[in-house]
Amino acid sequence: MFKRISIVEAKALIDQQEANVADIRDPQSFNNGHIPKSVHLTNDNIEHFVQSSEKEKPLIVVCYHGNSSQPAAQYLAEQGFADVYSMDGGFEAWKLQFDFTQ
């Protein structure tokens, strides 16, 4: 089961290097800006991501507004990730709150 996390809580986990970030937005949106060190997760690379990722480390799933990330987070939790979060507000809220993106 996944949990929901605020952008402030998510940033704290990321800043402490205690969480991985999976961004499920489309490639153009991801290329236009994303949370630093996030992985762009697509249908093409999700199987590799599931097999090669550290499943004990917290995982934050990000979409546009925090809606699409919820079923994706649930799926990843079902794949064995121990601590999965859907970020409330998504990347749109993140970029309004914080100035830095890559």
Active site (annotated) includes residue 63: yes
How far, in whole angstroms, is CA 50 from its chain's centroid? 13
Nearest to 7 by CA among 62, 88, 96: 88
Q: Would you call 64 helix, strand, or coil by DSSP?
A: coil
Provide the 8-state DSSP code for 18.
-
- Choose, from 19, 24, 63, 93, the residue flagged as catalytic: 63
Active site residues: 63
